[in-house]
Amino acid sequence: MTSNVNPGAASSRNIWRRLRKVWAAGAAMAVASCASTGGPLGLSRDQEKAIGDQQHPQILAQFGGEVEDAKLKAYVDGVAKRLIAAGDHPAEPIVVTTLDSPVVNAFALPGHVYVTRGLLSLANSEAELAGVLGHELGHVYARHTAQRVSRSNVTGIGAAIVGILTGSAEGMQMANQLGQLYLLKYSRGQEYESDLIGVRLLAKANYDPTAQADFLQTLGRWTDIEMQVAGQNSRPPEFLSTHPNSADRVRRAAAEAQAVASAGAVSSERSRATYMSMINGMLYGDDPMKHGFIRNGNEFVHPGMGLAFNAPQEFTLANTPSAVVGRSQNGGQMQFSGGNSSETPAALIEGPISQSLGVSLSPARNFTVNGRSGAVGAGRAQTQSGVVDVQAFVIRWEGTTNYIFLWVTPANDTQRLQQGINNSVASLRNIDPKSVQVPKADRIRVVAAGTRDTAASLAAKTSFPTAKEERFIVINGLLNAGDLRAGQSVKLVQ
């Protein structure tokens, strides 16, 4: 959770905007996703760009801002400029932003292309990065953003509410599918078109055009690991996905690269050494001081903000750039985030929070926790997963700063969970950052494989919590453990 509370802000609706974005981000930021948003059909390029510029600050807030490494930012920007200069629109102003987010993602807005730090950690050469950037430039050049927003905006609000009430990205994805089934084929076509534009840009910029397919393959394999670790053994069928599955995209991108190669001489430049040098030392995952960290599975500690809280024992917490989210095995969900408002906690609950959820949480009841005033409101809602109870706790912390706990629990389990929920809210406390043992931040370390090194021995040195060898193989673009060669530069997460 990034520290982004600004005491100067006074809009109560900004609080819920942050809350809602976290749930929407669950679908939008999923590994292997690629977002494309924009304005309605018929917009001029200037109008499209104005929309992109307007949304840009919100993107920065949601994804943790830009990376602080000036050399890394300049490097990514330079790769994009090389592609732009080689394309058909060299004069079109496009801002490239490297986001300080551990999530693997890249996306585009009119006049803007974004790539995350998490994606950089997964790529293995400059050409692979160029393939991603070329794909996103394809969205901009083909004006896909202008073709989608008028349709996606209609269903997006309902999807966000379903996501809140079910407490899951799956709920939002289902809502989006129900509202946008007629858009899915069109969206897949956009992704395919952008893949093709990206491959052609690679060739024109003298990069190896097969690099895009290689990255897509790595991305697909990484997604498979993430899903297996999460206990999900299969992907949804492609006809119920807003983006083509990686295997199909790999085949099509590879076929296009082969077609480009057969049409004339193309470069085999990958610039792997340069790329590995640029990401050596790059932060991997969260910065515990800047973003906070999870301790023992159910305690959140944020040294930078000087606060901590405990979730009920059966809840497992996860930290995101915008909020802390938690889930229990029985379907309970929680979210913790902060915002600024001069309104009272009760007014926030009865007004903007209730309105945004579409669930009345009135009347809100005032309470005191650790000497600070707060309020709680509760309501019940019918969702696709059944009847749920919704509870919002708002605590006025300091000045206009408020912290919000949102709980969504199955109605038949709320009574059992209630004491734990109350204890969790009451556990929100100030801490002395100097007294906290902050875990070391993980970073990408580039090393040369020794003659006695194996994939297993190198993987054992990583800080991956699960599937160490599998993750090591995929993050380094190896086909299998036997693909490792002495002297080869490899990435270790340590």
Degrees, nearest 5: CA angle 161-117-66: 80
Q: Which residue has the higher pLDDT, 238 or 221?
A: 221
| 372, 395 Cβ separation under 8 angstroms | yes
Closest listed residue to residue 106, CA positions, set 43, 167, 156, 32: 32
| 422, 378 Cβ separation under 8 angstroms | no
User: 217 CB contacts (<8 Å, ≥6 apart)?
Assistant: 246, 250
Range 158-186 average pLDDT: 37
Task: Supply the DSSP symbol for 269.
Answer: -
Identity of residue 492: L
Degrees, nearest 5: CA angle 92-97-99: 160
Task: Supply the DSSP symbol for 92.
Answer: S
Token couple for 369: 């926790």
The string of pLDDT tens digits covering residues 414-447 is: 999 999 999 999 999 999 999 999 999 999 999 9
Angstrom distances, CA of residue 281 to CA of 21, 276, 342? 30, 10, 42
The string of pLDDT tens digits covering residues 304-329 is: 999 999 999 999 888 876 788 888 88
3-class DSSP assignment, residue 89? coil
Token couple for 339: 């915002």
- Find residue 108's DSSP bridge partners: 36, 113
What is the dihedral sign for C-alpha 316, 366, 395, 12? positive
Question: In whole angstroms, what is the distance from residue 188 CA to residue 183 CA?
Answer: 9
Question: In whole angstroms, what is the distance from residue 88 CA to residue 192 CA?
Answer: 19
Provide the pLDDT for residue 21. Answer: 42
pTM of the prediction?
A: 0.75
User: Which range, 90-94, 352-356, 380-384, 490-494, is most confident?
Assistant: 490-494
Q: b/e string for 286-304 if b means 16 or more Cβ within 10 A? A: bbbbbbbbbbeebebbbbb
What Rg do the C-alpha atoms of the chain give, in angstroms?
23
For the chain, the farthest-separated pair of C-alpha atoms sits apart, in whole angstroms, at 73
Question: In whole angstroms, what is the distance from residue 242 CA to residue 339 CA?
Answer: 32
Write down the domain spans for the chain: 31-279, 289-435, 444-493
Provide the pLDDT for residue 448. Answer: 98
User: 364 CB contacts (<8 Å, ≥6 apart)?
Assistant: 345, 346, 347, 349, 350, 375, 376, 377
**Which segments within 360-440 are labelled E, that is strand?**
365-369, 372-383, 386-398, 401-410, 429-430
User: Which range, 141-150, 210-219, 446-455, is most confident?
Assistant: 446-455
Cis check for the bond before 363: say yes or no (omega within 30 of 0).
Answer: yes
What is the dihedral sign for C-alpha 180, 185, 190, 194? positive
What share of the chain in percent tops pLDDT 90?
51
Instruction: Identify the band that residue 233 occupies on the pLDDT scale cut at 50, 70 and 90.
Output: low
- Tokens 């993602």 appear where? 105
Which CATH fold topology does 289-435 show? Protein Transport Mog1p; Chain A (3.40.1000)
Q: What are phi and psi of 316, to 5 degrees?
A: -105, 125
Strands 429-430 and 307-310: antiparallel
Question: In whole angstroms, what is the distance from residue 164 CA to residue 262 CA?
Answer: 50
